[in-house]
Amino acid sequence: MLPKFMSPLSRWRLSPAMITVVGFIVVISAVSTLMLVSFRHMAAMQAGIEEISVRYNRKASLTYAMNEAINQRMALVRDLMLEPERFKREQLLQRFYHYGWEFQKNYQEMMTLSLDRESERLLEQVITRIQESSSIRERVENLVTNSKPADREELLSTVITIHRLIISQLNELASLQHSHNMSQLKVAREDYHHTRDILAFIFVIILLSALLITIRISRYIRNNARSLTQMAHDKSMLLATMSHEIRTPLTSIIGFGESLLDVNNTKEERISAINAILRNSHHLHGVINNVLDYSKIDSNQMEINDDWIDLKACMDDLQYMMQGRAQSKGLSFDILSNGPIPARIHNDEMRLRQVLINLANNAIKFTEQGSVTVTVECEETGPTLKFMIEDTGIGMSEKQIRNLFTPYRQFTQSQQQEGTGLGLYISREMTHLMGGELEVQSEPTVGSRFTLSIPTGDINGVERIEWTGPLFDAVQEIISQRVHLSGRVLLADDLKDNQKLFSILLDKTGIDLTIVNNGREAVDEALAHEYSLILMDMKMPVMDGVTATRELRAKGYNKPIVALTANDTQSERQACREAGFDGFLSKPIERTSFNAVLTRYLERKDLFENDGPIFSSALEELPELQPAVDYFVGQLPVRRESIEQALISRDWHELKELVHDLKGTAGGVGYEELTELAMKVEFAIAKEDYTEVNFLVDQLVNRVERIQSGYIQRYGTEPPATNGYH
């Protein structure tokens, strides 16, 4: 029978013999372990002896390197005095600096090694001696311009004296290190021999080692568990955030999309639904882009492609994209330069645009009144290009700034905004990949300033440009829509929905659009007819866009070709550049980006080319309406002034009332074109498209001027003026 305390062993039906065997095996294992640990300990001691030798060799190597650097500097001073050519003297001076840097580097590494007090004292004396000799550095530098100064011999003597003292101290240091090393080796070897005589004490060491290992394993398990818990938490947070940020806009898109099928909805309700769908679609697009960028950063797969960047074009595009968003909130958005800046820099254009757009978007999103300003300046040290994005928004506290670049972190609930909380984290990581820095200063209720600093690359010989006002003069003209585009555009895309979309985007711009279904047709059509621009999809049957573009370029076709693709990666952009594309548009197509591309490659012309007089169409059949026409035309100057004033003050409600009244009266007196324009203005205000409002009001003012011109041409006099209208 087994003792009572061993009774649980009966469950495994172990006999006493088996227990004995197991006990013997355990004892043998313990003894073997003891011997193994003893031998390992002795091996470790041998390794320690070898390590002492390695450390000594490293110290000796560093001491020799410092000694050699001092010798070289001393020789270079003599060479500087003897060299007749200034260019070579400059090279010698650079080598003089280089050996000084080599000495400093070796000294710093030496200080990281374990040194005895005497060695540290000698090293401090060497450094003190070097610091005391720093006064002759300027005299050595002057040898570049004058290799034979008056005090030449005295300078050389001083340099040689100081450097010999330093060399002497370094030699003393080497001797001391050798002595110290031999002493350490002697002690280590004695310990090694004594260890063989006291193996009995190894058992205690084994216990302590086992305890230490147990503690370390326990600590590792706890840390690993904590890390796994944090990873699981991050994953859960990511999934929860993504679920919310994807489901929320999808709910709105589906809901408002279904509501458009309701025939009982009013025009205002339909416009509101369309705006909601667009707003949530753009938000969903941003969420998907952020998730893709975050996954690339997290897996170290984010690509950086250094190339020349047209800085003005980049800033023009930024202003064009941000201007409408700022105006819709009643904000001003300006881009300025602080001093001359290079016209081109060398970095990653796509990532730079992405970071600037994100920072500008955030500034507009968190600003309710005032302005957003982007200031560009170039620091020649580096050289470095700085973008300061300043706003007059809500600002941030110190606590909020500390968490600003942490993934998934946003403001407190009272300041919660839509978004994944990844934008600024991604912007900072992209900035680091570009070799730059992203900093922020902010004050609650006052505003924030983000400073993006990136290296420019080698910009020697690059033209410098300077702006003293807003950059966006040319693009501002497009936003006010006083011009439209002319030319023929060839679209190559095999999807009917995409063909319909581009037809809508290009409608009423003055552009003549031709559509083909694949790359083969695009090549044939481009070579057969004259086109100002080709929009080429990358993935098409029969022949893809890259192959088609290469064939066109091989045949001497030199008109601009812009790629259309949903695969917005650096490798894809590089493939486009190599194939001969001039530009790149990422799907889904954003109207502002699309318009920026069009205005870059197509000609602009006056919208009001047909500025002839306009006559009332009603008087031919109903001459009795003459008094009404006289009264209406007489009111037009007052109406025009009121409309322009409402537009300037951005009083959209007042402007809507004014054009609504104009719409109701113009058609009744034979000016249907004015009625149609007023209706379009009213519709644009309802859908909050204020860029379109500017465009249409300009056309409306032009029509008013032509109506007045027509009246004067027909009757030889201006209509009777009125003080107001009803």
Q: What is the mean pLDDT of residues 461-482?
A: 54
In eight-state DSSP terms, residue 421 is S
Question: How far from the centroid of its chain's Cα atoms is residue 437's Cα?
Answer: 10
Residues 6+ apart with CB under 8 A from 139: 149, 151, 155
Separation of alpha carbons 126 and 168, rounded Å: 10
Which range (293-302, 360-369, 688-697) has the least confidence? 293-302
Separation of alpha carbons 68 and 528, rounded Å: 74
Region for residue 300 given its phi and psi (left: phi exceeds 0; alpha: psi -120 to 50; beta: otherwise): left
Classify residue 32 by burial, with Cβ atoms within 10 Å: 0-12, 13-18, 19+: exposed
Separation of alpha carbons 74 and 97, rounded Å: 12
Angstrom distances, CA of residue 420 to CA of 291, 368, 382, 465: 8, 21, 34, 38
In this structure, the chain runs to a length of 726
Per-residue HEC secondary structure of 405-461 comes to CCCCCCCCHHHCCCCCCCHHHHHHHHHHHCCCEEEEEEECCCEEEEEEEEECCCCCC
Backbone angles phi, psi at 376, to 5 degrees: -110, 135
pLDDT score of 387 more than 90: yes
Separation of alpha carbons 351 and 434, rounded Å: 8
% residues pLDDT > 90 (the chain): 12
Separation of alpha carbons 663 and 665, rounded Å: 6
In eight-state DSSP terms, residue 12 is G
Tens of pLDDT, residues 275-332: 778 777 877 777 777 777 777 777 777 777 778 888 887 887 788 778 777 877 888 8
Between 570 and 353, where is the model more confident?
A: 353
Region for residue 334 given its phi and psi (left: phi exceeds 0; alpha: psi -120 to 50; beta: otherwise): beta
Closest CA relative to residue 74, chosen from 211, 166, 148: 166
427-430 contacts: CB < 8 A, separation 24 or more?
427/354, 427/355, 427/358, 427/359, 429/297, 429/302, 430/293, 430/297, 430/302, 430/351, 430/354, 430/355
Which range (17-26, 84-93, 370-379, 658-667) has the least confidence? 17-26
Separation of alpha carbons 436 and 62, rounded Å: 34
Give SS3 for 385: strand
- Preceding amide of 470 cis, omega within 30: no
Which range (559-568, 588-597, 630-639) has the least confidence? 588-597
Between 683 and 247, where is the model more confident?
A: 683
- DSSP-assigned beta bridge partners for residue 308: 346
Structure tokens of 702? Answer: 């032009």
Q: How confident is the model at residue 448 (pLDDT cuts 50, 70, 90)?
A: very high
Between 189 and 329, where is the model more confident?
A: 329
pLDDT score of 156 more than 80: no
Positive or negative: CA dihedral 485, 486, 491, 496: positive
pLDDT computed for residue 605 by the predictor? 60
Q: How many CA atoms lie less than 13 Å away from 439 in the CB half-sphere?
A: 9
- Residue type at position 177: Q
Sort strands 511-516 and 483-492 into parallel, antiparallel or unpaired: parallel
**Residue whose tokens read 């585009």:** 485
Region for residue 387 given its phi and psi (left: phi exceeds 0; alpha: psi -120 to 50; beta: otherwise): beta
pLDDT score of 15 more than 50: no
Q: What is the mean pLDDT of residues 631-642?
A: 88
Separation of alpha carbons 513 and 506, rounded Å: 8
Give SS3 for 561: strand
pTM for this prediction: 0.46
Tens of pLDDT, residues 214-238: 676 667 667 777 767 766 666 666 6
Please give the mean pLDDT across all residues of the chain.
77
pLDDT computed for residue 584 by the predictor? 83
Closest CA relative to residue 636, chosen from 596, 678, 594, 602: 678
Which range (187-196, 253-262, 467-476) has the least confidence? 467-476
How many helices (H) and strands (E) would you count in the chain?
Answer: 21, 15
Between 309 and 416, where is the model more confident?
A: 309
Q: How confident is the model at residue 576 (pLDDT cuts 50, 70, 90)?
A: confident
How many other β-carbons are positioned within 10 Å of the β-carbon of residue 304?
A: 13
Q: How confident is the model at residue 514 (pLDDT cuts 50, 70, 90)?
A: very high
Structure tokens of 540? Answer: 């098409």
Tens of pLDDT, residues 330-348: 888 888 888 888 888 988 8
